[in-house]
Amino acid sequence: MAAYEYTARDAAGNEVNSVYTNVESVQALRRELVKLGYELIQARRQRGPARSRGRIRQRDVASFAYKFAGMYSAGLSITSCLEILEQQTDNPAFQGVLSDVRRRVESGSSLKAAFEEHRSVFSDFFLGMIDAGESAGKLTQSLEASARYLEKRLELHEKTRAAFIYPMVVGLVCSLVVISLLIFVVPMFSQLYRRLHVELPGPTQVLVAVSGVLRSWWWLLTPGAAGAALGVRRLLKMPAVRPRWDRLKMRLPLIGRLSRLVLVSQFIRTFGMMISVGVPIIDALESAGKVARNEEMSRITADLQQAIRTGNPVAKSLRVHEIFPPMVIQLAASGEEAGILPEMLTKASDLLDRDADRLATSLLVKLEPTLTILMGMVIGLILMGVYLPMFDYMACLK
């Protein structure tokens, strides 16, 4: 699939310049435009740099949803809102998406069906919210809820990612220092000891051997590391491996609890927002499970759906699964009793987000000294291996 910049003529003879995304060829573009009542004049495929500059972020979608909700609640029609937002955006790729959505709506498609043609931009959650909002006459509320959800999700993701930037930088620096010592420093001492006819102890022999391998095959380091990372990534996506990896992530010593908090918060928030706009509970659970993108949570979602179909309350169904903290279950029970389940689920998600934020900060505080000590130990061991023969040589001279 590719994106095309094109010029077309509408039924009134007016020329239109825009961008069309997710189309295979110019011929396919021509067919799509004919369906929408346009005649293609010329088209040019967007290539490398242009596409990268036009990458559509979820923050763009959140901003779009807020603006769309504001204009629609003020009385503007859907097509007018889309046209204004299309003109306002400075992202060529997103402009093309909005242009296509507007044309489809003008041709009689529902808003959800028009958005659905761009699943790479609009998530299942967003599509479900739009569908529910259109059906229940709550499009403004659906758009606002979608925007709040996306912003909360991005905020938590950024905080979690920021907490691990320092450890990653320390690990990278440590790796570069170790590689530099092995490639440049160890060979110098190896030559010196060879000239002095000093017998090398075991640790030093290992260092010299590793240094020789690195010096001979240094050009394989980057592609080898990239290939290994790609291989591991593909392995973890395999159907036979993915469920086990998803379970393992939630049981790891340090980041397991953080992974569970983030996962449950996202699941609960999605579930609450979906039912707040009128989505049936079973369908809301289905969407929440898809958004989680975790095989273990998908299994739990199926169990929850089955339990609720048999007549169990939401809180009782959640209680069976230990991944949900007692606080979430208690708030869900209170919400069911008071008839405010969506609000209580959102409250539970907010509390989980705070816990995740505090835990990420705490992990960072613990990781900083630990990584510094480990880096010092690794470099110290290498230097000790380098200087051991020197100590033996000095002892012989005495």
What string of pLDDT tens digits covers the 398 residues of the chain?
Answer: 677 778 888 777 877 777 776 677 888 888 888 877 788 888 888 764 444 445 788 889 999 999 999 999 999 999 999 999 988 888 888 888 898 899 889 888 899 999 988 888 888 888 888 988 888 888 898 899 888 888 888 887 787 777 677 778 888 888 888 888 888 888 998 888 888 888 888 888 998 898 888 888 877 877 888 888 889 888 888 888 888 888 888 888 778 888 899 899 989 998 998 898 888 999 999 988 888 888 889 999 999 999 999 999 999 999 999 999 999 999 999 999 999 999 999 999 999 989 988 888 888 888 778 888 888 898 888 888 888 888 877 777 66
Chain centre distance of CA 69: 25
* Strand ranges inside the chain, DSSP E: 2-9, 15-23, 39-45
How many other C-beta atoms are found inside a 10 Å radius of the C-beta of residue 27? 10
Name the residue with tokens 């380098």.
386
The DSSP call for residue 23 is: E
Dist. CA 363–CA 163, nearest whole Å? 8
Q: Would the pTM of this model clear 0.75, i.e. be above it?
A: no
Edge to edge, the sheet with strand 15-23 lists 15-23, 2-9, 39-45
